[in-house]
Amino acid sequence: MEVGTFWIYLLVMFVVTYIIRVFPFVIFRKKIENKHVRAFFAYIPYTVLGAMTFPAVFYATGSVISAAAGVAAALALAYRGKGLFTVAICASLAAFLVSIVI
């Protein structure tokens, strides 16, 4: 990934996250009491960042197979409740080992 492309992606993620966080304060003047609406606004930034980041994961290693191995390892460990650092290290290690094998 080129440095210029990275900064564009980062800027877009920042703007989208910022707009979504500020939107409820600008539109709704009083406190939102509905728990469903509050949950919706709470999860939107994570959903948007995930949707923007997840496809790029499969092209980060240069091989879709090694990237898929890393994603599978990350999903398995995250499902088991492991921490972010453990998931990131194990996913990177899985992708690296598969890239060596293939």
Reported as a single tens digit per residue, the pLDDT across 45-90 is: 888 888 888 888 888 888 899 999 999 999 999 999 999 999 999 9
Q: Is the dihedral of CA 20, 22, 26, 30 positive or negative?
A: positive
Provide the whole-model pTM. 0.57
Tell me how crowded residue 94 is: count the other CB atoms within 10 A of its CB: 21
Amino acid letter, residue 1: M
The domains of the chain are located at: 1-57, 60-102
Dihedral, 13, 19, 20, 21 alpha carbons, nearest 10: 100
